[in-house]
Structures are given as structure tokens and as C-alpha cells.
């Protein structure tokens, strides 16, 4: 499929960059991205490594594969390099995710990348090809402007988004309950000091007076600049990322500027910001995808993203691959095991919903496995610019500076003449880092090697403040509600199973029901949900309707049931039930023939009981026309006891059959059989 769209930073307004060729509005010139077929990649790898060492930037690319080289000549391709840079330490893991299959091909700026991508996509060695997405900035309105838990940062009173008392003219309570959350942190204590948030954006001003103490650093670097291929560790500070980073982790209670959600070094949870630069001035990144892989491989477990594609209903496949890698592999070592001291085994990816004021499929926020964040103003109402819909996961303060500047979100920023700048901004760009900051706060308190993204997501989404009181008309379009940092930090005891059955013996077709609430205890009386799985569905099927477990024995044998109970914070408990379906199953009445299951699929079972010796039994099965389906089953000289038989009905036609039960030459009973 041909995809053409561009990526932008989410903020107040949107710019246009039109040129004579229509395709230039949506895609970057100079390269296309291909995903090679697994069976073809080995033919490329060694040749490309050799070519990149030996060839110039102007010679036509020649990989020695006829069909591919014909395209290289046609489009004057001059280079081909891995989209996800080689990393010896993580190479095996990268290959498991197919990252080694993605390449970027350099072409002249005059070529149409969409047409080139379509041509490469038709090559027998390529399974997918796409143009590079263009990245652009949006305009952003800007201005400068103890015993209790209120920090001493001089401008904290302007941060209505953290504690809204109506000080800016908004609605009291339309905030994230941050002061209460900080109080809980003091009570609960810090469990993990290794929380790293990757701000995938333009460059964070890592020397800002209110940020420098909370910047991540490795070998003197604070992140990576993916715009600069040959100078990747030079971070160029800009206002947007610096503003986002300040919401998450501006140093709190330092008598300077503003506070950040998870920036308090006094309380021992000053989390670290990794700046992953995908924008710089008017230059655009070669590809966003490697940014996620870099962040995961270097210890980040939260990916903060205040950007999105310019058009609805479009997305880029290489970005999906990278996002999934971050979710599955963040916090893990090259072998896929939790890193020692990691706050979470896996990662969470958080995206701003976008500023189009529409309900549509706005990717990447629309992806199911990321968190989509909408925005409110200081009245607690859906911000005029915010996208909305049933795909939104959660809402946070994004501000609104149209009425007055103080209705925006105040945070750290950057200006060329003032490295320690502060600024009001508005947008879902500002809402998104509120969720990232609270996620970091949660991990500081509860994080560890056994903490999962599912648990973090549950805490964020199941602790929100209902928005119906602030905005009844739009509350249903804004996810689970307004981010509530205090409720998200509530101490939670996971539920416990009491004395649930360990072993149950059943007979076929004899279903039983168990009310699981009778066997579970939850300290906080949280709403509970249950999942049940059978490891042998040919023997036992299970289903759950709310809290009622139904166990349906199908045939003789054994099965193990795994029962999982979860509370709203994804606290879990597990129980196992060993099910034995007896091989002996007799009718209740002496003269009765028992036939099961009805209706029958592939195997028909029947049984009877004898109380006298030397009996002769005949079983005859006929179809509706009287035709005998199997040879008459005769048993002579049977003694007292129960008898069990099976017949294969796999080749029977669908319809009605009859089974006749004769004892000592006398018809005792006839039963109907329905074949499915």
C-alpha cells in the first residue's frame, strides 16, 4: 500500500510546507525504506558491508542481485545501510525481532520517494517498502512569565495542572492531584531509583538550571541525536522537548522555577530524562524507528512521545516494529531477562492524541498497545484542539492560552538568549508528559524486576478522576478519565485465593459451576476479574461469566485448570485445579442405556449396567431410513457390572439416528442420536 504522510510535533498550530511537486508535502526526499524478505537478507548483508566500506557517495549501488541492481540503476541509488544500527551486544535480540531486515536506500532528491518505494516493494527480495515520513514543527505560543507538601519552587502556584485551586480562573480540582501524591510517596517510600524516561522529541536543554540534575548520562552523553548521522551525540536544545521534560522531571523544591511531577531529588526519586532527538531546527530525522530501539537498549522503560502523523488512517510499518520492540524488551538485557535493578520488565509507550479536534484514527496514538492521551483546559473541559474518541485511553492537562496565557501549562523551555527559560504552552504535547511523569512516579515507588507494563497501565487507567462533573458532554470521549497521581499511587494488596478446590473428579456432560468470589479475598475490596484456561480442551472446557466459573467435562481424561484473579491495579493471584473425568460413567437406572454426548460429533459413547449373570446384549444403530450404521454389537455371557463402549461417528452424515438396546433378545430401550 502506498503511504504518504508526515509527522509533526503536537502543539497549538500546524504549518504547511508546500512545493511544486505534491509528494514533497508528505515525504522526505533522498531515501526510501525497505524490509527485506528473511530468505533474501543473507544475500545482502555481507555485500552491503563491503560496499559501504569501499564505495563513494556518488557511485551507483551494486549489490550483485540482478533485479535489485536494475532498480538501483533506474533510480540512481548510491547507498544502502541498516535502518536499525548494528549493536553487537543486542544483535541476537534485534534479529529475533527482524530489525536486521530493514534498510534505508539513498536516492537523489529529485526522485519521487513514493514511486521509488512502490517499485522496490515489487522486487522479489523485498516484503515491504515505504518512503520516509517528513517531520515538521508546529507553532507554540510562549511567554515567560516545608511542612506542607507545596514545594518552594517560586512558580509552582502557576502550575494549576498540578494543583488547581482556581488560581488561574479555572475550575478547582481540574488537576492531577499531585500534592496528595507526593504525600503518599513520603509515606510509602522509594523502591527504585533507576527510572529512565526517554523523551523522543527534539532536543532537551540538558543544561537547564531546573533539569540538569535529572538528566540521564552515559559516557558523558545525555542521549542521542538521530538527525545527525555523523555527529549523533551532539544534542541541540529546543523549546518543545525541554518543556515536555520539565513537566516530567523539573527538579522540585529547589527554590528555582517550577516543579516536575517526578523530579524531587529531596525524596530520592529524581528520575532521569534521556533525550532522544528526532527533530533539529528545520532538519528531519532519517527515521524515527531506531529511536525506540536505542532507548530500550539503554535502559529507558517509559517512551514519551508528543508527536504524531499528519493525516488520520495512516501509519508506518517500521515504526510499529520499533514500538513493539520497546514494549517487549525495555528493561531487559540482551538475553531478554530483566536487567538487575530495572523498575519494570518491559516498556510503556505513551503518545499525545493530536491537535486536530477530531475523532479519527490518529496513529501512532491509535495503536492498541500504546497509551493515547487527550487534553483538558483549566476548566476541566476537553481542550478545543484535542483529538477525542473511544480510542483515547486517558486525559491530562494540556492547557489553553487563547483566553489568557496563564491557562496554558508552565514548564521549562529554551531560547537562544536564555538557556534557563520558562514558558506557557498548550497542546496534547503538554498533556502526554503528565502521564509519563506519573508513570515514573509509580515505578519509583512500586517498580522492580517483577513489575510489568500491564500493572503500570492498570494503575494509570483504573485510578482516574471522572470527568463527567467537569465536561458531561465529552466525558465519554476522553478515555477512563482525568489522570489522578494520588489514586494511582494507592497501596495495593493483590487478591488472594483461599481454599479453592485442588482436585475435582467429574463425569462427562455433568457441568458444574463455582462462584469464585467465595474463594477469593481482597483487602481493599477492589473490583475483581477472572480468567480461566484449560490445558486440555478435548477433556474439559471452561468459561467465566463475571465471577461464575463453569467447568464442562467433555470426555475421559485429565486436565489442569489455571485460574487467574486480577484487581484494578493488575495485582494477581493464581490457582490450579486438577480435573479428572472418570473413564467409567454408568446410567442411574438398571434397565437404562446411557448415550452421550448428544448431539454427537466424532465419537459416540454408550454404557449400561447388568445385575444378572450370563446376559446377552445386542446394540443396533440405524439411520432415519432404518439402514444399519455399524455391525450389530453383540456381547454374550456378560457378568454383573458396568460396561462402556465407544463408536466412531466421524463419517456419519448430519442428521437423526436411533440406537436400539436389546437384552436377552428383548428390546429394552431405543434412544435418539443427533449427529452434528
Please identify which residue in the block is written with the cell numbers 540512481.
76
Instruction: State the Cα–Cα distance between residues 115 and 9, nearest whole angstrom.
Output: 26
Residue among 69, 88, 89 nearest 77 (CA): 69
Residue 201 is among the residues annotated as catalytic for this protein: yes
Is the CB of residue 52 less than 8 Å from the CB of residue 151?
no
Q: How many CB atoms lie within 10 A of CB 11?
A: 26
For residue 395, what are the β-bridge partners?
Answer: 374, 482
| Residues contacting residue 46 through CB under 8 Å, at least 6 positions apart | none
CA–CA–CA angle 185, 191, 193 (5° rounding): 100
Q: Could you say which of 153, 175, 201, 393 is catalytic?
A: 201
Is the CB of residue 385 less than 8 Å from the CB of residue 231?
no
Concatenating the DSSP letter of every residue in 226-259 gives SS-TTSTT---B-HHHHHHHHHHHPPPSSSSS--
Helix (H) or strand (E) holding 458: helix 453-461
The grid coordinates of residue 64 equal: 550483485
Q: Could you say which of 94, 222, 240, 434 is catalytic?
A: 240
Is the CB of residue 36 less than 8 Å from the CB of residue 99?
no
Is the CB of residue 74 less than 8 Å from the CB of residue 119?
yes
Instruction: State the Cα–Cα distance between residues 590 and 612, nearest whole angstrom.
Output: 11
Q: Could you say which of 129, 163, 429, 534 is catalytic?
A: 429
Is the CB of residue 422 less than 8 Å from the CB of residue 257?
yes
Alpha-carbon distances of 414 from 244, 307, 499, 526, rounded to whole Å: 11, 19, 60, 45
For residue 219, what are the β-bridge partners?
Answer: none
The grid coordinates of residue 198 equal: 526517554
Residue 429 is among the residues annotated as catalytic for this protein: yes
| Residues contacting residue 88 through CB under 8 Å, at least 6 positions apart | none
Residues annotated as catalytic are 201, 240, 429
Amino acid at each position: 500500500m502506498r503511504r504518504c504522510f508526515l509527522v509533526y510535533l503536537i502543539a497549538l498550530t500546524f504549518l504547511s510546507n508546500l512545493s511544486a511537486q505534491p509528494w514533497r508535502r508528505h515525504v522526505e526526499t533522498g531515501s526510501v525504506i525497505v524490509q527485506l524478505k528473511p530468505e533474501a537478507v543473507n544475500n545482502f548483508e555481507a555485500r552491503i558491508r563491503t560496499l559501504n566500506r569501499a564505495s563513494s557517495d556518488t557511485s551507483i549501488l551494486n549489490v550483485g542481485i540482478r533485479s535489485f541492481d536494475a532498480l538501483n540503476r533506474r533510480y540512481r541509488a548510491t547507498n544502502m545501510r541498516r535502518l536499525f544500527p548494528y549493536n553487537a551486544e543486542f544483535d541476537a535480540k534485534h534479529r529475533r525481532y527482524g530489525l536486521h531486515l530493514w534498510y534505508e536506500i539513498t536516492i537523489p532528491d529529485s526522485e519521487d520517494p513514493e514511486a521509488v518505494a512502490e517499485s522496490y516493494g515489487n522486487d522479489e527480495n523485498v516484503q515491504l517498502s515505504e518512503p520516509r515520513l517528513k517531520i515538521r514543527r508546529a507553532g507554540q505560543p510562549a511567554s515567560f512569565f516545608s511542612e506542607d507538601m507545596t514545594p518552594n519552587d517560586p512558580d509552582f502556584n502557576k502550575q494549576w495542572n498540578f494543583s488547581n485551586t482556581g488560581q488561574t480562573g479555572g475550575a478547582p480540582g481540574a488537576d492531577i492531584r499531585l500534592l496528595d501524591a507526593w504525600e503518599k510517596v513520603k509515606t510509602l517510600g522509594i523502591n527504585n531509583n533507576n527510572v529512565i524516561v526517554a523523551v523522543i522529541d527534539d532536543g532537551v536543554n540538558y543544561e537547564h538550571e531546573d533539569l540538569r540534575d535529572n538528566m540521564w548520562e552515559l559516557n558523558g552523553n545525555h542521549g542521542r541525536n538521530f538527525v545527525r548521522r555523523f555527529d549523533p551525540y551532539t544534542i541541540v536544545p529546543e523549546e518543545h522537548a525541554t518543556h515536555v521534560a520539565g513537566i516530567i522531571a523539573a527538579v522540585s523544591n529547589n527554590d528555582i522555577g517550577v516543579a516536575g511531577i517526578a523530579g524531587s531529588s529531596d525524596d530520592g526519586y529524581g528520575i532521569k530524562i534521556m533525550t532522544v532527538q528526532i527533530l533539529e531546527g528545520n532538519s528531519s530525522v532519517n527515521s524515527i524507528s531506531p529511536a525506540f530501539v536505542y532507548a530500550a537498549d539503554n535502559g529507558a522503560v517509559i517512551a514519551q512521545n508528543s508527536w504524531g502523523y499528519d493525516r488520520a488512517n495512516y501509519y508506518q510499518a517500521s515504526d510499529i516494529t520499533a514500538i513493539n520492540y520497546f514494549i517487549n524488551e525495555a528493561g531487559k538485557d540482551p538475553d531478554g531477562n530483566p536487567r538487575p535493578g530495572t523498575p519494570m520488565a518491559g516498556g510503556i509507550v505513551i503518545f499525545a492524541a493530536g491537535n486536530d479536534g477530531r475523532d479519527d484514527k490518529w496513529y501512532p496514538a491509535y495503536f492498541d498497545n500504546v497509551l493515547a492521551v487527550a487534553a483538558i483546559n483549566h476548566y476541566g473541559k476537553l481542550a478545543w484542539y484535542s483529538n477525542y474518541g473511544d480510542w483515547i485511553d486517558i486525559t491530562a492537562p494540556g492547557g489553553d492560552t487563547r483566553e489568557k496565557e496563564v491557562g496554558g501549562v508552565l514548564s521549562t523551555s529554551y531560547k537562544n538568549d536564555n538557556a534557563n527559560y520558562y514558558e506557557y504552552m498548550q497542546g496534547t504535547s503538554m498533556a502526554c508528559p503528565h502521564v509519563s511523569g506519573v508513570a515514573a512516579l509509580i515505578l519509583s515507588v512500586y517498580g522492580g524486576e517483577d513489575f510489568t507494563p500491564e500493572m503500570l497501565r492498570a494503575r494509570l487507567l483504573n485510578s482516574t478522576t471522572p470527568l463527567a462533573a467537569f465536561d458531561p458532554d465529552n466525558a465519554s470521549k476522553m478515555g477512563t478519565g482525568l489522570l489522578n497521581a494520588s489514586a494511582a499511587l494507592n497501596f495495593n494488596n493483590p487478591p488472594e485465593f483461599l481454599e479453592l478446590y485442588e482436585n475435582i473428579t467429574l463425569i462427562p456432560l455433568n457441568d458444574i459451576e463455582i462462584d469464585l468470589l467465595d474463594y477469593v479475598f481482597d483487602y481493599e475490596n477492589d473490583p475483581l476479574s477472572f480468567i480461566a484456561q484449560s490445558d486440555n480442551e478435548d477433556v474439559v472446557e471452561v468459561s467465566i461469566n463475571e465471577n461464575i466459573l463453569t467447568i464442562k467435562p467433555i470426555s475421559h481424561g485429565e486436565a489442569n485448570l489455571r485460574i487467574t484473579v486480577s484487581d484494578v491495579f493488575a495485582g494477581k493471584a493464581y490457582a490450579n485445579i486438577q480435573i479428572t473425568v472418570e473413564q467409567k460413567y454408568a446410567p442411574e437406572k438398571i434397565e437404562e442405556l446411557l448415550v452421550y454426548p448428544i448431539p454427537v460429533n466424532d465419537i459416540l459413547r454408550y454404557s449400561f449396567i447388568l445385575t444378572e449373570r450370563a446376559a446377552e446384549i445386542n446394540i443396533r444403530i440405524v439411520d432415519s431410513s432404518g439402514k444399519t450404521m455399524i455391525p450389530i454389537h453383540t456381547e454374550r455371557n456378560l457378568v454383573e457390572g458396568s460396561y462402556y463402549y465407544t463408536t466412531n461417528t466421524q463419517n456419519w452424515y448430519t442428521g437423526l439416528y436411533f440406537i436400539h438396546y436389546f437384552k436377552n433378545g428383548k428390546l429394552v430401550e431405543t434412544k435418539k442420536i443427533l449427529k452434528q
